[in-house]
Amino acid sequence: MTNLDYEKGNLTFDNLIIKDITKEIETPFYCYSLNHLKDQYKSLNNAINLQNYEICYAVKSNSNQSIIKNFANMGSGADVVSIGEMKRALKADIAPNKIVFSGVGKNANEIKYALENDILMFNVESISELKKISNEAVAQSKKAPIAIRINPDISAGGNEKISTGKAQDKFGISWKDALKIYEYASSLPGIEIKGIDAHIGSQINQLEPFSHSFDILKQITNMLRDKGFKIDVIDVGGGLGVKYSNDEIPLDTEKYGKLLSDKFGNIDCKIIIEPGRFLTANAGILVTKILHIKESDIKNFTIVDAGMNDFIRPTLYGAHHEVMTLKEPDNSQALKYDLVGPVCETGDFFAKDINLKNINEGDFLVICSTGAYGSVQSSNYNTRASIDELLINNGEYEIIRKRIDEDTIINKDIISKWV
Ligand code: LLP
């Protein structure tokens, strides 16, 4: 996979021998390639030929501040979905006027904070939310810039848990009700209509669903403008797919860029793109140690020190992630193993029936493409410590997030006075 190569029999990530890191850093740990993060941003940026656009990195895919700051340095804005993500983005030097605030359940505190910080816009998903934003804006003697997230009723995405644009999904407001909600929005004293938004799902490798969604956005924009509404921003969401396995064909970035130009080339709007996974997925690996090997007539298990609490995508979505050994595989016979973690759940696995050669207890394995929705979806289930995150740059590494040990986690509990 990307930036992973065997050199003299040892697996390297961005030219750094991973084995050398394991001598200094306790496994499991996440490791990110700065070069890959930069290359992805550049490749997307270069593929876009619009006059007026903003890449707003979807912070949820990997919210480490070093990662956000790298994109901020490259000119990126941010798509955030909570006060926590907003604080991270601001701390990592994303300009407030490049922040869009998405999400179906913004609370009062989050709305207040976003307004105080003068963000670019709120992507609004319900009438109830619209009213609350308006009220808070009036209290702050401001007008809140908003876009309505429309639900275009399109099926897209790697699997049903990450599809967000179908009519039955909780997201957005039916495109058929667009006019009504814009009329209502314009009647509210604290609202400034700025644009329109859609996000149809994640890990989309075909152009067709994007094309369909862009058509609907364009059609509604034209209709709203005809009715006298000022639409200056079209947020097309994220969702760009990546390659997780050797036989997967990822979205063609050039074609995606061309599609944007074809659909929005002469619409006179700022176009916002909210990529997450595209920028971060293949920049990350999870390094883990083999604790035990359990072989039997029925099934072989390789039990590693990372668990589903560290990386949940395989069990949650049935997601495929390639696994590599640190030693280059030789000509010996491979055996089939399930790769599992120490958590007390049958669902605690990373891969099933994979071929592994010459593995021994104490060896290390790499789970590939874990830069997006990896660390951010981790938990402390089974009172397991959280793990380190490292950044690699030109043959060196740096810790960019320290593990939180089990004692710190345990000490958060307060023993009740009633027990
Ligand atoms: N914008 C909005 C409003 C979103 O909800 C999302 C992702 C994105 C942008 C970024 O989408 P991306 O470019 O990363 O596909 N945990 C799941 C993915 C959930 C995506 C949620 N929304 C996974 O591990 O596959």
Q: Where are the domains of the chain?
A: 4-32+281-410, 103-273
Q: Per residue in 118-139, pLDDT tens?
A: 999 999 999 999 999 999 999 9
Tell me, in angstroms, the distance from the centre of ligand 1 to residue 384's CA: 26
Residues 242-262 have a mean pLDDT of 96
Give the DSSP per-residue string, 289-347.
EEEEEE--SS--EEEES--TTT--HHHHH-----EEESBPP-SSPPEEEEEE-SSSSTT
Residues 192-200 have a mean pLDDT of 97
Residue 350: the pLDDT is 98
- Residue 155, pLDDT above cutoff 80: no
Query: The tokens of 325 are what?
Result: 């050994």
Catalytic residue among 31, 56, 344, 368: 344
Q: At what angle do helices 34-47 and 65-73 cross, to 10 degrees?
A: 40
Residues 243-264 have a mean pLDDT of 96
Q: Per residue in 295-320, pLDDT tens?
A: 999 999 999 999 999 999 999 999 99
* Closest approach atom of ligand 1 to CA 158: 25
Which CATH class name applies to 4-32+281-410? mainly beta
Q: 204 has which bridge partners?
A: 240
CA distance 214 to 4: 35
Q: Per residue in 52-91, pLDDT tens?
A: 999 999 999 999 999 999 999 999 999 999 999 999 999 9
* Closest approach atom of ligand 1 to CA 202: 15
Residues 236-252 have a mean pLDDT of 96
Residues with CB under 6 A from ligand 1: 58, 60-61, 79, 102, 162, 164, 199, 202-203, 237-240, 274-278, 313, 317, 373
Residue 169: the pLDDT is 77
Residue 95: the pLDDT is 98
- Residue 49, pLDDT above cutoff 90: yes
pLDDT confidence of 171, banded at 50, 70, 90?
confident
User: Do 72 and 92 contact (CB within 8 A), yes or no?
Assistant: yes
Is 56 in the active site?
no
Q: Per residue in 320-379, pLDDT tens?
A: 999 999 999 999 999 999 999 999 999 999 999 999 999 999 999 999 999 999 999 999
Matching CATH number, 103-273, of 3.30.420.10, 3.10.300.10, 3.40.50.300, 3.20.20.10: 3.20.20.10
- Residue 280, pLDDT above cutoff 70: yes
Residue 157: the pLDDT is 67
Percent of the chain with pLDDT over 70: 98
Residue 159: the pLDDT is 66
- Residue 164, pLDDT above cutoff 90: no
- Rounded to two decimals, what is the model's pTM? 0.97
Phi, psi of 290 (to 5 degrees): -80, 120
The residue among 394 and 270 whose pLDDT is bigger is: 270
* Closest approach atom of ligand 1 to CA 281: 14
Average pLDDT of the residues of the chain: 96
User: Do 291 and 304 contact (CB within 8 A), yes or no?
Assistant: yes
